[in-house]
Structure 1
């Protein structure tokens, strides 16, 4: 008989994979909801996604990168972020290429055609990360990617049912019913799978349903009879609930970029910004601060804007042509994964001249550049790393020159406004660019030392124009800092003659309320005890079949 430690490892090895019939079926939301529902029941739970493709990353305590969605799921599970929960992150850098991040560290660039062999080499990395987490937590809830029956990709699939087969895990299939064809998607997925993978599927979850559930009874019964698998719940559409922590700019489209299509998760369709409903936002004020977000084609880290979605004094809108800036009180130039390419796009749209004109107006709108947006506002970008374009002129709005260089800066930061030490600031940095303000330029933030050895060395971030209206920062998530955000909006409102009625609770509280809402949604409409029981049918870690 094994040791007591080995016996404990056998017990602490429950796992459940949530896959989708299609992309945007709602896998991310369902995993977040289950993580919080299980955590509320006292279950020691952790999330996991073997491979993600997103330009929205978060930073772990040890300076690693993981997908933003996994960071949100960790918050839902009430565990700290860890590079093991998202061991492979693909960050698209072109139409057919991506930067590859493995266990939190940059690991080169891969093209779509040649990635198959790279994926096979990453199999042990993914499985080791999963099994390590399973040995430390009672249950691991895994998220798949795309559609589970992409039969052209099964041989290189690290994240869906091939992983379930390798690790000996049960899986459930999420189907988005709002788009139509849900029963065909569910049955077609089951039917297309080879038997070795089909046997991992143990049930269906119908997501994003509007209407009377009893109207589905005949179809659900027929699906169960055809497949022999149970329907484990029908999740209603989330309506106007504001989805926070969206994984990529596609999710932001539903809030701001109304002219675009697509969504980052079925059921994650909260409606237009300014009317978020159940997330607890107070009613709109009479003359809100009008914020225009430049709709960069490769916009990254869209959750930088989440706190503004919640503020009752903010009307958030997209800007893709110069006319969209006409009535803005604040213009945000957000982050980008392809800085120089998106700067080219700005110029092609005529937004470069429009931004310069706005900056030059004595009483014009304020401008905030975040990370790549900050770099674009400067005088020069010298990039031999990301684009390979060398020296490219910036917009010349701030006295800053940026040089791209390895290694990538990946770190959490904490500090305060340089002009007001009572206003705290927190966030994170993920960048190749090293912005260097001119001598005598005014910084925006004063940062605490990142390491004990930095003590005594002045640390500053960003740059502020002489009139205070143009601000650049390298720090993502900076608007999560409640005092800083509300001071910024309040100053803009005062300068521009707008109304200011700040959010009555903090951004962190809003995140908690969002996750609690998702947990209640899952508890009410899913068989959570049954799913927990199903998770414990996973084979013990040391008995996993392997690839």
Structure 2
């Protein structure tokens, strides 16, 4: 059997730029006529998307869905076989091949994931048999030596498929040269043999000042830097997690949209379309005083409706939302946010916590929610999707207050335009589908103009060069 053709994009840290580089490479390779697919063995995120699976539907990480669009490929579950959705600081809900599959805790992190590794590698092999090149995104850092024994996302995947690996470093954080060199040095000799080079991300300034450092890094590691991606403030669209929610705000319009920053916020990409509107200023808030001058309040999706509703009340945000609605100003709830705006929320099977729990919502909608063990997954046309355990009944609109269980509806220009006219008396002045495609093209352009895209494609097709030096200490036992 021939070696699978592909590339692993690893990083010195979380949020170093792995998703950005993977997306850009998918678009750059697709432009060259390469049949390319994205892949991430395990994604940990509350941002997800629904895809078709046989006669039904499945769930994958949002980033892989967007990367598939960049690759001009049809999104599918094999592109993200394992999705972990944080339920608490020590426990995550597992989505395996698109379907709920129990939970995993920090106490059984290694043993509890062995079957996930098998499924993930089988999914990679399946994709590799159908595509010319796989651009695989790692998770966190490959130098997390305490987790290496059970790793199947970073060097564990690279070793499984003999994938050459590129390490991305975020220069904006500082210490990037030490991080890149240290990442390689902490790997075992066998893992180091697959690390073929580096990419710098988020650079702003004079490239001439950076060049001597790149040359010294190559002398120290025996590995080249394939290019330097410039910092660009517009690359937040469809981002992976909530590490930089504040960076998503538009900040330019005169009408203020306050999105309540719930502790377990999920699928907050719902608000990206509003962020494109030039007349709106979209901000994420967590205190009642931040709602005082809002024109529109949004309660977004959440992974834990009941506990986040308790948090809302503990901060007095519930009273601020009710006062806003009673003043005749609009409130929008999406999925979990819609459930919070209603009457009773019942959890007979303990899906979110205590068995048989029933709590009162904010009472702004005539809606009752009952959690069901079977998750609803559904796609809507022309835009929108459902991912939820809570089933609602009743009327999800009352005066200025409205709710929906459908994520992504605001991405439809016609729907968003209608909502803005009704709620705020504004006309939409943006096209979300056009903006997304433009940003995918921008990522492709950045890769084409600032990286050695042809060299990276050649690396993916031919594999890591032989004879790469082993850096001391060559792994930590």
Q: Same fold (TM over 0.5)?
A: yes
Q: Is 2:209 the partner of 1:215?
A: yes
Instruction: Tell me how far 1:525 sits from its aligned partner.
Output: 0.8
Q: Is 2:259 the partner of 1:334?
A: no
Deviations 1:130-167 (A, max 9, x none): 01101111111000000110001101111101110111
Maintained 8 Å contact 1:274/1:316: yes
Maintained 8 Å contact 2:334/2:403: yes
Of residues 426, 435, 439, the one that matches 1:514 is: 439
Of residues 513, 517, 526, the one that matches 2:451 is: 526
Match runs of 1:179-194 below 5 Å: 179-194=173-188
Q: Give the aligned partner of residue 444 of structure 1.
A: none
- In 1, the alpha carbon distance for the partners of 2:234 and 2:324 equals 34
Q: Is 2:12 the partner of 1:21?
A: yes
Q: Is 2:420 the partner of 1:429?
A: no
- In 2, the alpha carbon distance for the partners of 1:87 and 1:388 equals 29
Maintained 8 Å contact 2:236/2:247: no
- In 2, the alpha carbon distance for the partners of 1:365 and 1:319 equals 17
Q: Give the aligned partner of residue 502 of structure 1.
A: 428
Instruction: Tell me how far 1:255 sits from its aligned partner.
Output: 2.4
Report SS of the residue matched to 2:322: helix
- In 1, the alpha carbon distance for the partners of 2:179 and 2:41 equals 23
Of residues 277, 286, 289, the one that matches 1:311 is: 277
- In 1, the alpha carbon distance for the partners of 2:38 and 2:424 equals 41
Of residues 363, 379, 384, the one that matches 1:396 is: 363
- In 2, the alpha carbon distance for the partners of 1:198 and 1:522 equals 25
> What RMSD over aligned residues (CA atoms) do the two structures have, in Å?
1.5
- In 1, the alpha carbon distance for the partners of 2:29 and 2:215 equals 28
Maintained 8 Å contact 2:288/2:317: yes
Q: Give the aligned partner of residue 469 of structure 2.
A: none
Moved more, 187-196 or 382-391: 382-391
Q: Give the aligned partner of residue 475 of structure 1.
A: 406
Instruction: Tell me how far 1:501 sits from its aligned partner.
Output: 4.7
Maintained 8 Å contact 1:294/1:333: yes
Q: Give the aligned partner of residue 449 of structure 1.
A: none
Gaps of 5+ in 1: 1-5, 257-272, 276-283, 415-424, 442-462, 495-499, 540-547
- With structure 2 as the length reference, what TM-score do the two structures score? 0.93
Q: Give the aligned partner of residue 241 of structure 2.
A: 248
Report SS of the residue matched to 1:426: coil
Match runs of 1:67-466 below 5 Å: 67-238=61-232, 240-256=233-249, 273-275=250-252, 284=253, 288-361=254-327, 364-383=328-347, 384-388=350-354, 390-414=357-381, 426-437=383-394, 441=395, 463-465=396-398
Maintained 8 Å contact 2:246/2:284: no
- In 2, the alpha carbon distance for the partners of 1:61 and 1:27 equals 26
Q: Give the aligned partner of residue 66 of structure 1.
A: 60
- With structure 1 as the length reference, what TM-score do the two structures score? 0.82
- In 2, the alpha carbon distance for the partners of 1:142 and 1:309 equals 29
Residue correspondences, number? 458
Report SS of the residue matched to 1:315: strand
Instruction: Tell me how far 1:119 sits from its aligned partner.
Output: 2.1
